[in-house]
Amino acid sequence: MGRLEGKKAIVTGAGAGIGESISVFFAREGASVICIDLNGDTVKQTAAQINDAGGTAIAVEADVANEQTFVDAVEMAKTEFGGLTTLVSNAIYDLPYVPITEIPTEGWMRTMDVNLNATYFFCKQRYYQKIYCQLSYWNRYY
């Protein structure tokens, strides 16, 4: 039994690099993982690597700058895994290393959407699910 046995995680930026490594490690330790990345090919490879090794992973090609991504991912965790225990907001958007006067507004906004707002969306959906589960629990007994 792994250290994360029974855990259910969502990892963003799971198509490569640190996000891929986190997803693979979590699965190796027993967690079920929803892998999210903008690059559909690489996120499918991450999930396949996990599934081929006997783990459980679902690949989701989606943009974390879109709040609906997290609504859908949290619902998927509830449906496919029976809940959600762990969030890893790892996706980033890198701006070019140039003077601030040369950064296009669109690039700046994309950075804020992916690097900041996505974490807010993620936590908001998880918090909503936790409250819903707690209310469902109490309603069952009272």
Confidence (pLDDT) at 124: 84
Average pLDDT (23-39) is: 98
pLDDT band per the 50, 70, 90 thresholds, residue 128: low
In Å, what is the CA distance from 142 to each residue of 15, 135, 137? 44, 10, 9
SS3 99: coil
For residue 130, is pLDDT > 80? Answer: no
Closest CA to 59 of 75, 38, 79, 78: 38
Q: What is the pTM of this model?
A: 0.87
For residue 104, is pLDDT > 50? Answer: yes
DSSP code string of 47-77: HHHHHHTT-EEEEEE--TTSHHHHHHHHHHI
For residue 132, is pLDDT > 60? Answer: no
Average pLDDT (89-117) is: 94
